[in-house]
Structure 1
Amino acid sequence: MYAVTVTFKLHPGAMAEFLPLMRANARESLLVEPGCEQFDICLGDIPDTVFLYEIYADRAAFDLHLISAHFKSFDAAVTHLVAEKDGRCFNEVIR
């Protein structure tokens, strides 16, 4: 299992444009990427902030996600909406 978290801090007022693009990217990832096992979009009490929690079968599956056409299209479409982006990867699971 390979877990990825991403926190997006959006420019004020960008949420309405960002969320449909993010939902489409998550939906497409789950539909066409066999190694994408979970893709959660989370909103909380921090304004203009979106938190992603993604699970992939392994690092190779995540690498395929990063080069997919739908991810590249999403990334290009939201660049102007994002003020900050912080991504973290976790490859050790303790049970």
Structure 2
Amino acid sequence: MSYVIWVEFDVAAENLGRFMMLVKENAAESVRSETGCQRFDVLVPVEGEGAVALYEIYDSEAAFRDHLASPHFIEFDALTAPLVRHKTVRSYACHQNSK
């Protein structure tokens, strides 16, 4: 069973460019360096601005905790905190993977 994280960010328009650069770097580094990270997608709505969502899949909750303790995440979190108006994080258990 995989561990899925869904994160929604509300980012002010003037901060969106910097935020997107940082979140894409964090996503790429997570997939590249974390063995327990299966997938890390950065999503933006087709219409509208300021909303960014993350869809992350980990091998386990422990793998996600490792992600939170990684140097690249700690740096990302510190750099983006002032750019974000609101953030919601939800976790899910994935019982079936599709191809």
Letter in 1 for 2:72: H
Equivalent residue number for residue 49 of structure 2: 47
TM-score (norm 2): 0.91
Letter of the 1:7 partner, please give it: E
Which runs of structure 2 are paired with 1:3-22 in the superposition (5 Å)? 3-22=4-23
Q: Which stretches of structure 1, 4 residues or longer, exceed 6 Å deviation after superposition?
A: none
Between the two proteins, the alignment pairs up a number of residues equal to 95
Q: CA RMSD in A?
A: 1.2
* AA at the equivalent of 1:93: H
Could you tell me how far 1:13 is from its partner in structure 2? 1.4
Q: Please give the per-residue CA displacement for 1:18-47, whole angstroms capped at 9, x wherever unaligned.
A: 001001000100011000000000000242
- 5+ unaligned residues in a row in structure 2: which ranges? none
Deviation of 1:94 after TM superposition, in Å, equals 5.1
Give the structure 1 partner of residue 91 of structure 2.
89
5+ long unaligned stretches in structure 1? none
**Aligned pairs (5 A) from 1:49-64:** 49-64=51-66
